[in-house]
Amino acid sequence: MRAVVQRVLSASVTVDGEVVGAIDGPGLLVYLGITHSDGDAEVAWIAKKIWDQRILEGELSASDVGAPILLVSQFTLYADASKGRRPSWSAAAPGPVSEPLYEAVGAELERLGAHVERGVFGAHMQVSSVNDGPVTLLLER
């Protein structure tokens, strides 16, 4: 499981002209990629890691200040662009595997106490954000 975590002042996701998820920060915009071997252990680990990273202003975590999180599915995090001009997506888990795990990460973040907004799994989305810092982390397990 891979997550790109960005510290933001605000972020939103639009699908077909409609805002489907938005946060007014400070908060975190999280792009989440899932591979074939991911399961419950990766869900628990990555949710806790996202929630507890001290990357907000003053070295605080989202858990310290109750910062909102916008979670967006991102299969392209598992792209292999090492050969040719067209990336391979074979390392990304297919929708029937990855969608429940994406939803489980959101649910686990909520269980930990986060306010979570979401994109729409598998949809063509427009993501807008105002990055703060900028601060961007890559988490992987």
Positions marked active-site: 74-76
Residues 6 or more apart whose Cβ sits within 8 Å of residue 35? 1, 2, 78, 91, 92, 93
The CB density around residue 4, as the number of other CB atoms within 10 Å, is 17
Query: Which amino acid, 84?
Result: G
Residues 6 or more apart whose Cβ sits within 8 Å of residue 18? none
CA distance 68 to 25: 7
CB 60 within 8 A of CB 54: yes
The CB density around residue 48, as the number of other CB atoms within 10 Å, is 14
